[in-house]
Amino acid sequence: MIDVKLICDKPELIKEALLKLNSTAPVDEIVELNTKRRELTYEVERLKEKKNSTSKEIGKMKDKESRDKLITEMREVGDKIKELDEEIKKIEEDLHEKLLWVPNLPHESVPVGKGEEENVVVKTVGEKRIFDFTPLPHWELGEKLDIIDFERGVKLSGTRFYVLKKAGSKLQRALINWMLDLHIDHHGYTEIYPPYMVKGECLTGTGNLPKFGENLYRDAEEDLWFIPTAEVPVTNLHREEILEPGTLPLNYVAYTACFRREKMSAGKDTRGIKRGHQFDKVELVKVVEREKSMEELEKLISHAEDILKRLNLPYRLIKMCTGDLSFTAMIKYDLEVWSPGCDEWLEVSSCSNFGDFQARRANIRYRPEAKGKPLFAHTLNGSALALPRTVIAIMENYQQPDGSILIPEVLRSYMGGMETIKGGI
């Protein structure tokens, strides 16, 4: 959510920015509603002031006649207040609803562009491996080695589900533990194990609702939703809180399963384990002071990159242009790992600075100094990394001519010393 005051102060500037985002948010209506809101608030507060002070006087009065007269008078004032309060409430709800649909404004450094094609490749790190045989896609490797079972996944749960087994599941488990340990021990993050189901207000807080409800799974009877990413519960840890001086920055790392309907990507990436309805992810979340968020973003990206570097996988860093920016992000970078079997770059991480967009929705504030006025914090997050795609990258990049897969050195101790994944293990 962006600041109403900002919208009302500089509506033209906002409109211009929204144009770059291909957004049609109703700026004029918002300005109008807010003006009305302020007028009515002023009016009703004058009336309340009168009623409050008069009521106190009534309590002290002895003369019945003038007392009754005032009571009658205040009864009318009370009715008027009720009427105005209702009107204000309606306006506020309307205004709030409209604001929830306004996307975040892009940071000044974000390149202007219409869509994906205009994203900027910031850098490419590592060399693509030269194969002296044709590298296989992970779905073929996985079936040959009997470490991914697609058929039975579909039998259990339908399309976009699969079963990992043997060294396949062990590899994923090793990655999770290794990544968590790395972030905790070397990057200074605090581990969180959050609920996988949250209330709707959490999703509104992070910006997944109301706009992206169709991409989420939910309980049929209660207001409980499956998380599409750990970002949701972890960012919401501090919803409705005012953080005391000295608490920030907060650096969290969380491993969770993630659940997505993939309605917006229907028909896309149906092969392999690239895009499932359920997948695992290790996620980094930061809550920081507002002046610090851009430098924290750099750190965040470097922490995600560190995983790829240590796994020795070729990757590239992409800066998203305005047309490809997500609804909530002020600035966003993707990390893409090279996958020789699929023959494409796979997005394994998305690192965003949300500015105070989420903090406003979730009401996450901090006190810059003792007794100071609370300010909205800045929130950031990035995957580090998404598991299935990292598994894909390892399988495809480390495959051998005989179809076996070499295990990256950093993971071996997490796999009981295993060095190669061969059939039958």
Partner RNA sequence: GGAGAGAUGGCUGAGUUCGGUUGAAAGCGCUCGACUCGAAAUCGAGUAAGGGGAGUAAAAUCUCUUUCGUGGGUUCAAAUCCCACUCUCUCCGCCA
Which residues are annotated as catalytic? 260, 275, 347, 350, 389
Q: Contacts with RNA in 183-242 (CB under 7 A)?
A: 242
Give the interface segment with RNA, choosing from 69-77, 133-141, 398-406, 411-419 (CB under 7 A). Answer: 69-77
By CB under 7 A, which span of 58-66, 155-163, 305-313, 395-403 interacts with RNA?
A: 58-66
* Contact pick of 28, 49, 191, 419 for RNA (by CB under 7 A): 49
Q: With contacts defined by CB under 7 A, how many residues of the chain interact with RNA?
A: 26
Judged by beta carbon, residue 64 or residue 268, the one nearer RNA is: 64
For position 58 contacting RNA by CB under 7 A, the verdict is: yes
What one-character DSSP code corresponds to residue 30?
Answer: H
Dist CA 389 CA 147 (whole Å): 15
- Is 214 or 221 the residue whose CB approaches RNA more closely? 221
Amino acid residing at 200: G
Between CA 408 and CA 179, with CA 416 as vertex, the angle to 5 degrees is 50
Q: Which stretch binds RNA (CB under 7 A): 50-58, 282-290, 297-305, 342-350?
A: 50-58
> Is the Cβ of residue 54 or residue 177 nearer to RNA in the bound state?
54
For the window 8-47, what string marks contact with RNA as x by the rule CB under 7 A? Answer: ------------------------------x--xx--xx-
For the chain, report the end-to-end CA distance as a whole number of angstroms: 51
Query: Cβ(10)–Cβ(61) under 8 Å?
Result: no
Positive or negative, the Cα torsion across 397, 403, 406, 412?
positive
DSSP one-letter code for 17: H
What is the smallest separation between the CB atom of 300 and RNA, expressed in angstroms?
Answer: 27
Of the pair 192, 242, the CB lying nearest RNA is at 242
Residue in the block written with tokens 């384990």: 273
**Does the footprint of RNA cover residue 52 (CB under 7 A)?**
yes
Contact 419, 407 (CB under 8 A): yes
Q: How far is the CB of 84 from RNA (least distance, A)?
A: 12
Residue 62 engages RNA in binding (rule: CB under 7 A): no
Residues 76-135 that bind RNA (CB under 7 A): 78
The 3-class secondary structure across 221-261, one letter per residue, is CCCEEECCCCHHHHHHHHCCEEECCCCCCEEEEEEEEEECC
> Which one-letter DSSP state was computed for residue 275?
S
Nearer to RNA, 49 or 191 (CB): 49
Q: What's the burial of 352, exposed, middle or buried (CB within 10 Å: 0-12/13-18/19+)?
A: buried
Which residue in the set 15, 48, 129, 292 belongs to the binding site for RNA (CB under 7 A)?
Answer: 48
Residues 379, 389, 168: CA angle, nearest 5 degrees: 125
- Strands (E) in 325-408, as ranges, are 331-339, 344-353, 364-366, 375-376, 378-386, 405-406
Identify residues 359-398 at the interface with RNA (CB under 7 A).
Answer: 365, 367, 371, 373-374
Which of residues 17, 25, 31, 74 is near RNA by CB under 7 A?
74
Contacts (Cβ under 8 Å, ≥6 apart) of 96: none
Among residue numbers 140 through 169, which ones bind RNA (CB under 7 A)?
none
Nearer of residues 25 and 74 to RNA, judged by Cβ:
74
Sorted by sequence, the CB contacts under 8 Å of residue 127 that are 6+ apart come out as 314
Q: Which stretch binds RNA (CB under 7 A): 56-64, 206-214, 303-311, 350-358?
A: 56-64
Residues binding RNA (CB under 7 A): 38, 41-42, 45-46, 48-49, 51-56, 58-60, 71, 74-75, 78, 242, 365, 367, 371, 373-374
